[in-house]
Amino acid sequence: MTLPVTFIEVVAVDRITPRTARVVFKAEALDDTVGGTPDQQLKLCFPRPGQREPELPAGQDDPMGWYQAYLAIPEADRPVMRSFTLRRRHPGTRRIEVDFVLHGDSGMAAAWALRAAPGDRLGMVGPSALYAPPVPFAQVAAAADWVLLAGDETALPAVATLLEALPEGVRAYAWIEVADRAERQRLATRAELEVRWLHRDGAAPGALLTAAFRGGALPGGRPFVWLAGEAGAVRALRRCLVEEHGVPKSDIDFTGYWRHRLTQDDAPTAEDLADARERLG
């Protein structure tokens, strides 16, 4: 199975909240399966200063081989790569939507999105069936008594696609921490959904979510819990679910999307490595 690699070009930019930009791209090539399942992960590759588009190796069957070819590009020319969730594919087209959380010029992706305009070009690696879960999300959710999706604003694109995939009759909860009331987004689903918005209003990232888990009561029965957001907060939430609420580890899917005061270019911490080993195990 070939790891898909293509170039994408900005078609439109829409500020859907004060701190979130939704960018519509047109891809040069796009597999038919892209956009067919929720929570599809991809990597965007940003050009270096002076480049119109990033320099990228062609897709190949061996993902590690592709990554080695990527690392072989001289550092001054090697594109900066960041992970995102596919928000939506426009049916019957090669157009996709990706949401960017805008937090100033402190990060490569956010700084790019602040200035993004039609015609700007990026590289895209994935989404790929190589990284699809062995059991579809809707099937896992239907087997549980209830579903809880929790995270911060970086998790909202994935949460939205997961909720859209839920069938009727599923009891679902979404606990989302955002900067303030203006960052709320509409969440569509056929499930029986209860949404709890937590407004930081200057509090530390993850603090309100962690407090809600520690002080909140959960429904009875067997859950399926999906967690994503700042890595330290996700770690604390998972520990609380297991130790205080008695949720089996096997019923929790968790991912640290970002790290407070660290970027994806910084070396993984011991906690990051432990999380990776547990997810792979």
- Of 159 and 31, more confident: 159
The correct CATH number of 137-280 out of 3.40.50.300, 3.40.50.80, 3.30.565.10, 3.40.50.12280 is 3.40.50.80
pLDDT band at 67 (very low <50, low <70, confident <90, very high): very high
| Domain boundaries along the sequence of the chain | 5-131, 137-280
Instruction: Kindly indicate whether the domain formed by 5-131 is annotated with CATH number 3.40.710.10.
Output: no
Which amino acid is located at 11 in the chain? Answer: V
What is the number of other CB atoms lying within 10 angstroms of the CB of residue 147? 23
Distance, in Å, from the CA atom of 21 to the CA atom of 101, rounded to the nearest integer, reads 7
- Tell me the pLDDT tens digit for each residue of 82-113: 999 999 999 999 999 999 999 866 678 999 99
Mean pLDDT, rounded, for 202-208: 90
pTM attached to this predicted model: 0.90
> What is residue 8's predicted lDDT score, i.e. its pLDDT?
98
Which amino acid is located at 117 in the chain? Answer: A
